Amino acid sequence: MRLKDKVTIITGAGRGIGKAIALGFAEQGAHIVVAARTESEIISVADNIKEMDRESLAVVCDVTNEDQVKHLVDKTMKKFNRIDVVINNAGIGTMRPVYATQLDSFEKVLKVNLIGTFLLTKHAWQPMKNSGGGSIINVSSLGGLVGYPLLSAYCASKWGQIGFTKSCAEEGKKDNIRVNAIAPGKADTAIRAKIKEDKTKMLSPEDQVDACVFLAANESRYITGQVISLEWFGKEQD
């Protein structure tokens, strides 16, 4: 098991990419703190993990609320007394022309995707340092590397998330904390559910798992400040 007994906090873990990562990490031996806003979803994921004979904790958390983020970290420390991995996965997006985007809509995307990443990183940092270091993985997007029309708020948040990743990676070197990101392309998740497109020609939530396992595992111990792009290109790989 590549992640045996690593205590891992995953946000947005009730469904989609976050759920897939949670289950994939549990298969690799990690203990999982499942965090999201919808209690029924995270309890279901936590129960699935317990059935895999791994420990799990479900914590309701809005990543834009600093008190709730601090509560998430406190509950994790109370149960496990350490934090080894943080995966900032919670994210939202909207599609509309920039001239038709309302300020509150733009701010909401920034708050979840960027401020949420900041808040959990901030509050998990010292406990992770005290645990001997660890790995922070930010789930960004190809939209954080290139600009897409109708996605100005989303792209702005994801570009910011990548800049945040690289800055924190430099700070983390002295604390033995590695900070990296993955940048998935189109993925078949709830965020794209209303878009009319061929769902077979995109990534599945499970396609994100291997890259995250690698960035959390010992074999990537000298890798920090990097962004791994993930993109469907039409052929199954062995």
DSSP 203: B
- DSSP strands (E only) in 26-117: 31-36, 56-60, 85-88
User: Is 154 among the catalytic positions?
Assistant: yes
Backbone angles phi, psi at 200, to 5 degrees: -80, -15
Rg for the chain, CA atoms, rounded: 17
Tokens describing residue 48: 């699935």
Residues 134/85, Cβ–Cβ less than 8 Å: yes
Please, are residues 91 and 12 in contact by the beta-carbon 8 Å criterion? Answer: yes
Per-position DSSP letters for 83-112, written without gaps between them: --EEEE---------GGG--HHHHHHHHII
Pick the catalytic residue from 99, 148, 154, 222: 154
Which residues participate in catalysis according to the annotation? 154
